[in-house]
Amino acid sequence: MQLILNGIPRDIPGADTLQRVVDTVVLDNAAIKDSDRVIAELNGKIIKRGNWSATMVQKDDSLELVSFVGGG
């Protein structure tokens, strides 16, 4: 399914729920170590982590994923 991920159109196979999208993106991105450090905004609304599995995504939805990175 095609989504707008962080402003860029991207095809994410098997993307039916927000949880699956986040899991796929985390696996594809070595800079993000796990989904515990990710905030998801779907179509302008922040979605609580506990609702990711129940949140359905639709073709061309706009998704912003932000991860926290530690350092010093």
Does residue 19 form part of some domain? yes
Tell me the pLDDT tens digit for each residue of 4-51: 999 999 999 888 999 999 888 876 665 555 556 789 999 999 999 999
Give me the CATH number covering residue 22: 3.10.20.30
* Confidence band for 66, pLDDT divided at 50, 70 and 90: confident
In a domain, 48, yes or no: yes
pLDDT score for 14: 84
- The pLDDT value recorded for residue 11 is 93
Question: pLDDT of 38-58, one tens digit each?
Answer: 899 999 999 999 999 999 999
Within a domain: residue 72?
Answer: no
3-state helix/strand/coil string of the chain: CEEEECCEEEECCCCCEHHHHHHHHHHHCCCCCCHHHEEEEECCEEECHHHHHHCECCCCCEEEEEECCCCC
Number of domains in the chain: 1
Kindly state whether residue 7 falls inside one of the protein's structural domains: yes
Range of the domain at 62: 2-67
In a domain, 10, yes or no: yes
